[in-house]
Amino acid sequence: MTSKQRGAVKVRITGPHIKLDQFLKWAGAVPTGGHARALIEEGYVTINGEQEVRRGRKLHPGDIVSVSDQPAREGKQRQGGQVYEVTGAEGDGP
């Protein structure tokens, strides 16, 4: 299986889904749940290219999560940050 996003860090989850804030901690993107909540609420996180502000959003294998160095602003392209691909057990996901 090839990565959907070039340079994405593949992060394996053990169940069929994981909540966004838990995923950010699991992936090592943030040190605490509070930090995850702040990044999500302030617009630093996108899932599959769409800004997401719900920390309880369920992620599934195949989802692409981007954590930007700057919040999304209308009309501005975001640069920098890290990209993660959610993976599961063999045979999971698309």
Query: Domain 9-87's class?
Result: alpha beta
d(CA 8, CA 11): 9
Residues 62, 94 contacting (CB under 8 angstroms): yes
Residue-wise pLDDT tens digits, 57-90: 999 999 999 999 877 665 455 557 899 999 997 6
Average pLDDT, integer, range 4-21: 90
Higher local confidence (pLDDT), 90 or 20: 20
The pTM of the full predicted model, rounded to 2 decimals, is: 0.82
Domain extent listing, the chain: 9-87
